[in-house]
Amino acid sequence: MGKTRSKKSTAEKKESSKKEKLIKPSSQKELQKGSIAGGDYSAQNIHVLKGLEAVRKRPAMYIGDVSSRGLHHLVYEVVDNSIDEAMGGYCNRIKVKINKNGSVTVEDNGRGIPADIHPSEGRSAMEVVMTVLHAGGKFDKTSYKVSGGLHGVGVSVVNALSEWLEAESYRDGQIYYQKYNRGEPEEPVKVIGKTDKHGTKVTFLPDNEIFKKTIFKFETLGERLRELAFLNKDLEITLEDENENEKESFHYEGGIVEFVQYIDDKRKQIIKKPVYITGEIDNTPVEVAFQYNDSYSDNILTYVNNINTHEGGTHLVGFKAALTRTLNNYAFKANLVKNKKITLQGDDFREGLTTVLSVKVAEPQFEGQTKTKLGNSETKSIVESIVGENLRLWLEDNPAEAKKIIDKCMRAAEAREAARQARDLTRRKNALEISNLPGKLADCSINDPEHAEIYLVEGDSAGGSAKQGRDRRFQAILPLKGKILNVEKARMHKILENDEIKAIFTAIGAGIGDSFDLNRIRYGKIIIMCDADVDGSHIRTLLLTLLFRHMRQLIDSGRVYIAQPPLFKVKKGKYEEYVFDEDELDRIIKKLKGGKSAEETIQDVVEEGAISMNGIVVSRFKGLGEMNPEQLWQTTMNPETRTVLQVTVDNAAEADRLFQTLMGDDVEPRREFIEKNAKYVRNLDI
């Protein structure tokens, strides 16, 4: 059953912390002396500064990007260190606060960063952790950890990208402190007081030389912190924004069971409450919760050491194998299979399935395009055996619930059979072959997917303009008529029968659903171009739903974009400018004339379509169709001048809930969402 790894016993832990005490300098003076006494302190420092310089030179290599996403990543990085403490059982409280001055504080009640002299570095361990790349946290390999791992580039990266950072460690009765400027320590670690608590507090101000925007969003942070709280049921995480007077506490005693309920809270449940299974083999704790709902898609979220492994991996394979085998065996044993002509398959057991699977692995191997696929082979059989055995027992103990599940799977199998017939028909017609590209596709001339792009355009008239305006060498246009099918409410065979959807996936050329193959895509960029009105936003959401549910890899590999047509045109004599948002319009109007406030002007434009004052004409672009081909090219399609928004999924659970809200049966939550967001949101950040 795979390799055995041992976690340190409590006694061993006590032993090692005792040893640590022996080498710990007892007074501040000694500590300071010690910090420098390594002999080559300055030599070490040069090495360190080179490392941090590399981070400042290419921040994106370490945190993904320097947009809002990268900015929030800084907080997750610090929190990950606290999560490591929580996973080790040393910490049950994490406080995150957005401060008035724009900095963020993360405080935990873990063991505190050690401050004694690091044996090989000759400096305080705190300084090493905060300034050496990948020094991350623990110096042993037996604990499960996030930091220094995948996301975890180490808290030193946060330090390097902060104008300043202050670290405090509460440990052995002392408060240790160090401050850094752009990663460089101001002075050695010092003791600034006494305390009887333990833990770590890190406060940092992101460097505005590095980040475009340095404002933290409560909502964004809240989503990740909520996810972490679901995954660690003993942990309480609080989030506070001093500027907005907002505060929220995330603490879910039900853990991943509550997580599954949260994900599905707008869907109809098939069984009373989620099945919950937990176990541990070879120091690999496994936890899984699942529920069935009346939808047709499956939604399996998998985590390794609290990291969302959205490319799946061995843990997921083990879970699926156990689910299929165990439910299938039970169905036959309990004599629940009435239609002998139909054989149940893996997919049938996953229709309408919502699952959270969380495992802890001491030395995870991450693979795949985005390094979010677990590779450790031993994990498969561990998960398979824990889930298989416990699910068998649960089914025997809960026959009424078990029957509901099996009945649901039988219905899925019957529908699959119908879908297969539909698909066979489609195949026979060769519709999936590239030789059979949709008639209304205006393809590009190059044959190189990395340089080719396709615009999915709302409406035939805008499609016509786009066809005339494009650069036909590398831009393909696929006009879409009206609203495409809502895949959130349709089974696979319905989806495959739909002409618009068929046109989309034939054009893209990589298949659909489980058979989707990224290597076969015909375009490197998929650009959605819709009108800036309610219908346009609905069509965009329908398209995003299709891509998210059935061609998810396109989104995960960063290939899906949303075109940004201008909202207004400002004209004064020969001067002409396209304006993309209301702030920009505000600035331009102020520049061109005083008088009427920009807000009033915008209101007038929105109501009248166009207004004129002192020879300034402001007109509003509503539909893409209002632009002629040349304008469309200039403003929206020319790669030199256009802006396109990349679609990203930071949080799979939240994205799933968003699509339920927008595309599901309930009208009320959808209306609420649209009312809340419609005014300013031009794009959905899923």
Q: Contact positions toward ligand 0RA, by CB under 6 A?
A: 17, 81-82, 85, 108, 110-111, 113-114, 129, 137-138, 155, 200, 202
Least Å from the CB of residue 512 to ligand 0RA: 44
Amino acid identity, position 427: R
Catalytic annotation present for 531 = yes
Least Å from the CB of residue 85 to ligand 0RA: 5
Q: Collapsing DSSP states into helix, strand and coil, what is residue 621?
A: coil
Q: Confirm if 236 and 93 have CB atoms less than 8 A apart.
A: yes
- Choosing from 40, 186, 219, 533, the catalytic residue is 533
- C-beta closer to ligand 0RA: residue 170 or 474: 170
Catalytic annotation present for 458 = yes
- C-beta closer to ligand 0RA: residue 8 or 56: 8
- Choosing from 311, 531, 556, 626, the catalytic residue is 531
The DSSP letter of residue 368 is T
- C-beta closer to ligand 0RA: residue 113 or 510: 113
Q: Confirm if 168 and 175 have CB atoms less than 8 A apart.
A: yes
**Angle at the Cα of 318 from the Cα atoms of 316 and 323, rounded to 5 degrees:** 95
Residue 269 exposure: Cα atoms within 13 Å on the Cβ side: 15
Long-range contacts of 364-369 (CB under 8 A, 24+ apart): 364/149, 364/150, 364/304, 364/305, 366/149, 366/150, 366/304, 366/309, 367/311, 367/313, 368/311, 368/313, 369/311, 369/518, 369/553, 369/556, 369/557
Catalytic annotation present for 533 = yes
Please give the Cα distance from 277 to 575 (Å, whole number).
67
Least Å from the CB of residue 161 to ligand 0RA: 16
Q: Collapsing DSSP states into helix, strand and coil, what is residue 96?
A: strand
- C-beta closer to ligand 0RA: residue 79 or 684: 79
- C-beta closer to ligand 0RA: residue 113 or 503: 113
- C-beta closer to ligand 0RA: residue 85 or 384: 85
Least Å from the CB of residue 105 to ligand 0RA: 12
- C-beta closer to ligand 0RA: residue 127 or 348: 127
- C-beta closer to ligand 0RA: residue 119 or 609: 119
Q: Which residue has the closest beta carbon to ligand 0RA? A: 81
Q: How far is CA 327 from the centre of its chain?
A: 31
Q: Confirm if 273 and 257 have CB atoms less than 8 A apart.
A: yes
- C-beta closer to ligand 0RA: residue 17 or 628: 17
- Helices 652-663, 667-677: crossing angle, 10 deg rounding: 110
- Helices 314-333, 377-397: crossing angle, 10 deg rounding: 30
Tally of residues, the chain: 686
Region of 199 on the Ramachandran plot (φ > 0 left; ψ -120 to 50 alpha; else beta): left
- C-beta closer to ligand 0RA: residue 85 or 127: 85
Give the Å distances, CA to CA, from 577 to 448, 585, 592, 602, 638: 34, 10, 12, 15, 16
- Helices 399-428, 314-333: crossing angle, 10 deg rounding: 110
Least Å from the CB of residue 12 to ligand 0RA: 11
DSSP 237-283: EEEEETTTTEEEEE--TTHHHHHHHHHTTTS-BSSSS-EEEEEEETT
Please give the Cα distance from 252 to 240 (Å, whole number).
18
Q: Confirm if 17 and 9 have CB atoms less than 8 A apart.
A: no
- Give the ranges where 273-376 is alpha helix by DSSP (H): 314-333
- Helices 534-550, 652-663: crossing angle, 10 deg rounding: 130
- Choosing from 311, 458, 626, 654, the catalytic residue is 458
Least Å from the CB of residue 50 to ligand 0RA: 22
Least Å from the CB of residue 200 to ligand 0RA: 3
- Choosing from 407, 535, 584, 586, the catalytic residue is 535
Q: Which residues are bridge partners to 456 per DSSP? A: 478, 528
Least Å from the CB of residue 130 to ligand 0RA: 9
Least Å from the CB of residue 342 to ligand 0RA: 54
Residue 257 exposure: Cα atoms within 13 Å on the Cβ side: 11
Least Å from the CB of residue 324 to ligand 0RA: 41
Long-range contacts of 138-141 (CB under 8 A, 24+ apart): 138/84, 138/88, 140/8, 141/362, 141/363
Q: Could you list the active site residues?
A: 458, 531, 533, 535
